[in-house]
Structure 1
Amino acid sequence: MPELNDHCGHGMGTDLEAKDWININAEDLKRIQPYYPVLQGEMDIIWHSPRPFSSASIIRSAQGEFLLKRSHHSFRSVADLQQEHHFIAHLARKGVAVPHIFSNAQGRTATALDDWVYELYEKVPGEDIYADQQSWKSFFVAQHALHAGKALAHLHVAAADFLPDQSRITQYLISNQKIIESSSILQAFADRIRQSPALSKYFAQYPVSDDFLALLLRLQQPLLAQFPKFKKIWTHNDLHASNLLWRNGSDQAEVAAVIDFGLADLASIPYDFAVAIERNFIDWLALDQGNDLHIDFEGLCAFIRGYVRIGENLEQLDFVSDILPLVHIDFALYELEYFVEITRNETHAKAAYAYLIEHTYWFVSAQGQDFLAQLQRIIHARGEHV
Structure 2
Amino acid sequence: MENVTGDPQLDIVAQRWPDITLAEAADVLSRLRHPLRALELLTRSGRPTAAGVMIRANEGDVFIKRYALSVRDAASILPYHGFVHHLAKRGISTPTFMPFADDLGGSAPGGPIWATDSALTIGGAVYEVCAKAEGDDRYIDALSWDPPRTVSEAEQLGAFMARMSMAAEGYDAPRPAAPNPFQNRFGLFATADFDAAVKAWLEERPVVRDYLKSTDRHLMQDLDLHRRYVEKVSGPYGALPSCWTHGDPHISNFLWQGDRPSSIFDFGLADRNTALFDLVETLERNTIRFVSIMNGDDDAYCADTAAAIIRGYNGVIPLSSSDLALVADMLPVCQSEAALNWIAYYVEGTHRPQDAAWCYDISLMGHTAWFARPSGQRYLDAIRMAA
TM-score, normalised relative to structure 2? 0.89
Tell me the secondary structure at the aligned position of residue 226 of structure 1. Answer: helix
Give deviations 1:164-202, integer Å, cap 9, x for gaps: 7x2234522111112012222222223322332221121
Instruction: Supply the AA of the counterpart residue of 1:246.
Output: W
**CA distance in 2 between partners of 1:208 and 1:87 (Å):** 38
* Pair 1:118-2:114 in alignment: no
Per-residue CA shift, 1:104-151, capped at 9, x if unaligned? 122711111111111111102212111111121111222221121111
CA distance in 2, matches of 1:111, 1:209: 38
CA deviation map 1:1-35 (0-9, x unaligned) = 9776xxxx999723598622111102312321321
Post-superposition CA distance 1:178-228 (Å, at most 9, x none): 201222222222332233222112111141366532222222112232122
Quick check: 1:292 aligned with 2:302? no
Counterpart residue type for residue 64 of structure 2: L
For residues 11 and 95 of structure 1, what CA distance do their matches in structure 2 show? 40
CA–CA distance in 2 between the matches of 1:11 and 1:196? 30
Aligned to 1:360: 368
Partners of 1:75 and 1:53 in 2: how far apart? 8
State the partner residue of 1:308.
314
**Residues 15, 328 of structure 1: alpha-carbon distance in 2 compared, 3 angstrom cutoff:** closer
The 3-state SS of whatever aligns with 1:189 is helix
Letter of the 1:133 counterpart? A
> What does residue range 16-35 of structure 1 map to in structure 2 within 5 Å?
19-35=15-31
Against the structure 1 CA distance between its residues 309 and 155, is the aligned structure 2 distance closer, same or farther, given a 3 Å change threshold? same
SS at the partner of 2:139?
A: coil
Q: How has the CA–CA distance of structure 1 residues 10 and 267 changed in structure 2, closer, same or farther, with 3 Å as cutoff?
A: farther
Query: Mind listing any 5+ residue stretches in structure 2 that lack a counterpart?
Result: 103-115
Q: How does 1:105-254 map to 2 (within 5 A)?
A: 105-106=101-102, 108-163=117-172, 166-172=174-180, 173-204=182-213, 205-208=215-218, 211-247=221-257, 252-254=258-260
Supply the distance in 1 between the matched residues of 2:299 and 2:165 (Cα, whole angstroms): 30
**Equivalents in 1 of 2:68, 2:120: separation in Å?**
12
Distance 1:41 1:375 in 2: 50
Deviation at 1:327, TM superposition (A): 0.8
Q: How far did 1:267 drift?
A: 0.9
Q: Residues 186 and 3 from structure 1, CA distance in 2 versus in 1: closer, same or farther, beyond 3 angstroms?
A: closer
Identity %: 25
Q: Which runs of 5+ in 1 are unaligned?
A: none
**Is the Cα contact below 8 Å between 2:249 and 2:285 reproduced in 1?**
yes
- The residue number in structure 2 matching 1:339 is 346
1:252-291 map, 5 Å: 252-290=258-296
Taking the aligned partners of 1:359 and 1:42, their CA distance within structure 2 comes to: 43
Contact 2:74 2:126 in 1 (8 A): yes
C-alpha spacing 1:170/1:118, structure 2 compared with 1 (3 Å):
farther
1:371 aligns with 2:379: yes
Distance 2:2 2:136 in 1: 24
Contact 2:245 2:273 in 1 (8 A): yes
* Change over 3 Å in CA distance of 1:11–1:176 after alignment to 2: farther
* Paired positions, count: 370
Change (3 A) 1:221 1:263: same
Post-superposition shift, 1:70?
0.8
Instruction: Identify if the C-alpha distance between structure 1 residues 310 and 54 changes in structure 2 by more than 3 Å, giving closer, same or farther.
Output: same
CA change 1:12–1:138 in 2 (3 A) is farther
CA contact (8 A) 1:14 1:285 kept: yes
Please name the residue that 1:330 is paired with. Answer: 337
Q: Does 1:47 align with 2:43?
A: yes
* Matched residue SS, 2:27: helix
Q: Tell me the distance in 2 between the aligned counterparts of 1:12 and 1:262.
A: 24
Q: 1:11 to 1:163 in 2, by over 3 A?
A: farther
Q: 1:40 to 1:370 in 2, by over 3 A?
A: closer
- AA of the residue aligned to 1:302: A
Task: Verify: 1:74 aligned to 2:70, yes or no.
Answer: yes
Q: Are the aligned partners of 1:12 and 1:348 in contact in 2 as well (CA < 8 Å)?
A: no
Instruction: Give how far 1:37 is off.
Output: 5.8
* C-alpha deviation, 1:349, in angstroms: 1.4
Identify if the C-alpha distance between structure 1 residues 259 and 149 changes in structure 2 by more than 3 Å, giving closer, same or farther: same
Please give the secondary structure, in 1, of the residue aligned with 2:269. Answer: coil
The range that moved more, 179-188 or 28-37, is 28-37
The answer as to whether partners of 2:30 and 2:37 remain within 8 angstroms in 1 is: no
Residues 62, 56 of structure 1: alpha-carbon distance in 2 compared, 3 angstrom cutoff:
same
- Secondary structure of 2:306's aligned partner: helix
Give the 3 Å change call, closer, same or farther, for CA 225–47 of structure 1 in structure 2.
same
Partners of 1:150 and 1:299 lie apart in 2 by 13
